[in-house]
Amino acid sequence: MTALRSFLQGPTSFRRRLLIFATTAFFIVACVNFANLSLAPQPLGLDFHTSRATTPSDPDKQTVLILTLVRDHESWGRGRSFHDFLSLVRGFDYPMSNIRIGVLASDEKEFDAITKYVQQLPATDLYPRTHVILRKKDANITRGERKGDNVQRDRRRLLARLRNFLLYSTLRDEDSVLWIDSDMVKIPSDLLLRMIDSGKDIITTATKFGPTGGFYDLNAWVGERITPSAEEQKVIEQGGLFVPRPKAVKYTHELQQEFGPLDSVGGTVLFVRGEIHREGVAFTTNYVIGTGWKHEGYDGIESEGLCYVAGFLGYKCWGMPRAIAEHSDN
């Protein structure tokens, strides 16, 4: 008691320094405990990730984060599942130790199916990190309606939001990001390595419907697009619908070079250098071209807006017309 009484009656500056020290120490301990809590495994049903001890990444090759979105089990294509998606990824001529996987599902049943599948995989079939996220957001658009002009704004706005959520939740120190649509069925085995070795910023490839169908990804183009008339601009500013469409463009499959310049890319198979995403180049959630403070623009949403934003930072988009990937034909 005598010592405590002496401390309380001692110099004010000493008591203040001691109080500050004690408060700081308490704050540091609290932060460490919170960090440890946030790094603990997340409850199944919201966020699931698994890591495994593995052979070190090949230091001579980049690390790549491969990302995909699924709405529900139909998103993989008829008769397909997450198993088939992993088989597609394993087809790359690229070391498994340098690949990480990220998946966002909008349906809880599909989220559970994916996480249970990952949990039963033998250690030899696991990637160094697999991250699965449940994000229950839906534009209430059926698969049969999703190509209609009247739903594209809402559909692609949602896709942009989900892509960005997945990206920001999973990207760590990876050198590159490869986006693959969940219902892609065939990709050239050397494509990933060719994209990386090119040294280019943002790259997409030509995509067909199955082995014999037409070309699919018409969001990847170079050229000129329609701009709204004065009357159409008034409709836009009042929240009405304007449908962006080509005026004089070439699509990826119509380019002649191995790598041809693009003004816009699609998301079927899309390569982005990691630093570009980290600098804020993401998927635009509104039509950015022609936008005002209080109204949306008329073009450049989701993957099309990505190239628009990247261009102002000095980055360029490219298409690979000779490397043809295949999309599910159903």
Nearest by Cα to 126 from 115, 137, 112, 139: 115
Please tell me the chain's helix, strand, coil percentages from 3-state DSSP, rounded to the nearest 5. Answer: 35, 25, 40
The type of residue at 311 is: G
Q: What is the pTM of this model?
A: 0.84
What pLDDT sits at residue 9? 53
Residue 239 phi/psi, 5° resolution?
90, 10
The mean per-residue pLDDT over the stretch 303-326 comes to 97
What pLDDT sits at residue 330? 72
Q: Give residues with Cβ within 8 angstroms of 174, minimum separation 6.
A: 62, 63, 64, 65, 100, 274
Determine how β-strand 202-209 pairs with β-strand 184-186: unpaired
Contact 101, 127 (CB under 8 A): yes
State in Å, rounded, how far the first CA of the chain is from the last one: 82
Alpha helices (runs of H) in the chain, residue ranges in sequence order: 2-9, 12-38, 82-90, 108-119, 152-170, 191-198, 230-237, 274-278, 303-312
Give the three-state DSSP class for 61. Answer: coil
Tell me the C-alpha distance between 329 and 309, whole Å.
32
Q: List the structure tokens of 301.
A: 């949403």
Give 237: exposed, middle or buried? Use CB within 10 Å, 0-12, 13-18, 19+. Answer: middle
What pLDDT sits at residue 32? 36
Q: How confident is the model at residue 139 (pLDDT cuts 50, 70, 90)?
A: low
Q: How confident is the model at residue 137 (pLDDT cuts 50, 70, 90)?
A: confident
Rounded to 10 degrees, the C-alpha dihedral 113/118/90/59 comes to 140
Angle between helices 82-90 and 108-119 (to 10 degrees): 50
Q: List the structure tokens of 196.
A: 């990386």
Q: For 326, which DSSP code? A: E
The mean per-residue pLDDT over the stretch 312-321 comes to 98
pLDDT higher for 140 or 187?
A: 187
The mean per-residue pLDDT over the stretch 237-254 comes to 94
Give the three-state DSSP class for 322. Answer: strand
β-pair partners for 222: 250
Give 41: exposed, middle or buried? Use CB within 10 Å, 0-12, 13-18, 19+. Answer: exposed
Residue 40 phi/psi, 5° resolution?
-70, 155
Contact 290, 242 (CB under 8 A): no
What pLDDT sits at residue 193? 98
Q: List the structure tokens of 50.
A: 């698994």
Q: How confident is the model at residue 293 (pLDDT cuts 50, 70, 90)?
A: very high
What pLDDT sits at residue 92? 98
Q: What percent of the chain has pLDDT over 70?
A: 81
Alpha helices (runs of H) in 39-151, residue ranges in sequence order: 82-90, 108-119
Tell me the C-alpha distance between 291 and 24, whole Å.
47
What pLDDT sits at residue 228? 96
Average pLDDT, the chain: 86
The mean per-residue pLDDT over the stretch 162-190 comes to 97
Tell me the C-alpha distance between 270 and 282, whole Å.
12
pLDDT higher for 33 or 138?
A: 138
Tell me the C-alpha distance between 303 and 177, whole Å.
14
Distance set, CA 264 to CA 138, 208, 311 (Å): 25, 18, 10
What pLDDT sits at residue 329? 85
Contact 205, 323 (CB under 8 A): yes
What pLDDT sits at residue 36? 37
Tell me the C-alpha distance between 188 and 243, whole Å.
33
pLDDT at 322 over 70: yes
Task: List pLDDT tens digits, range 1-28.
Answer: 554 455 445 554 444 444 434 444 443 3
pLDDT higher for 57 or 189?
A: 189
